[in-house]
Amino acid sequence: MIVLDASVLIAFLSPADALHGDALSCLVALGSRRLLVSPITHAEILVGPARAGTLAATQSALTGLRVAEVALPADAAPRLAGLRVTTGLKLPDCCVVLAAQQSQCAILSFDDRLAAAAAGLGLPVG
């Protein structure tokens, strides 16, 4: 299992994105590993397609990748607040960290700041 940051999936879904090739390579390398996202990351990925009128196609692509959501726990608010304070990350990035902590798995992100904060918390980063 691996928790994906929006940066990876947005790049994968956008052939014109400068990191599209990297995202494609990373996802292929993951093979059959289970791909997870937080609900906030999932929403973040869908904003652009919702604006462009391609929401259904994007949701279909995510389903094809077998991307699954990690539900926020009942104590998400205080845990996210704590992550925000200790890491300085924005709340959407804290949601990625929380999902990885809950799932006890690695994070894949193209965001260097998120990757460094996750590594600093002892999470594996891919």
Per-residue pLDDT of the chain (126 residues; tens, 9 = 90+): 999 999 999 999 999 999 999 999 999 999 989 999 999 999 999 999 999 999 999 999 999 999 999 999 999 999 999 999 999 999 999 999 999 999 999 999 999 999 999 999 999 998
Distances (CA, A) of 50 to 45, 53, 58, 59, 78: 9, 5, 9, 10, 30
- pLDDT recorded at residue 70: 96
Residue 63 domain-assigned (yes or no): yes
In whole angstroms, give the CA distance from residue 35 to residue 68: 6
Question: What is the CATH number for 37?
Answer: 3.40.50.1010
Report if residue 35 sits inside a domain.
yes
Instruction: Give the number of other CB atoms < 10 A from CB of residue 31.
Output: 6
**In terms of residue numbers, what domain contains 88?**
2-120
Per the domain annotation, does 103 fall within a domain?
yes
In the prediction, which pLDDT does 63 show?
Answer: 95
In a domain, 19, yes or no: yes
Residue 20 domain flag: yes
Task: Answer yes or no: is 125 within a domain.
Answer: no
Cβ-proximal residues to 120 (8 Å cutoff; 6+ apart), any chain:
87
Q: What's the domain count of the chain?
A: 1
Residue 32 domain flag: yes
Residue 126 is assigned to a structural domain of this protein: no
Distance (Å, whole) CA 117 – CA 19: 21
What is the per-residue pLDDT for 116? 97
CA-to-CA separations, 75 to 13, 27, 98, 109, 123, in angstroms, rounded: 32, 31, 11, 25, 20
CA 101 to chain centroid? 13
**Can you give the pLDDT at residue 52?**
95
Task: Tell me the backbone φ, ψ of residue 26, rounded to 5 degrees.
Answer: -65, -45
In this prediction, residue 126 carries a pLDDT of 84
pTM here? 0.94
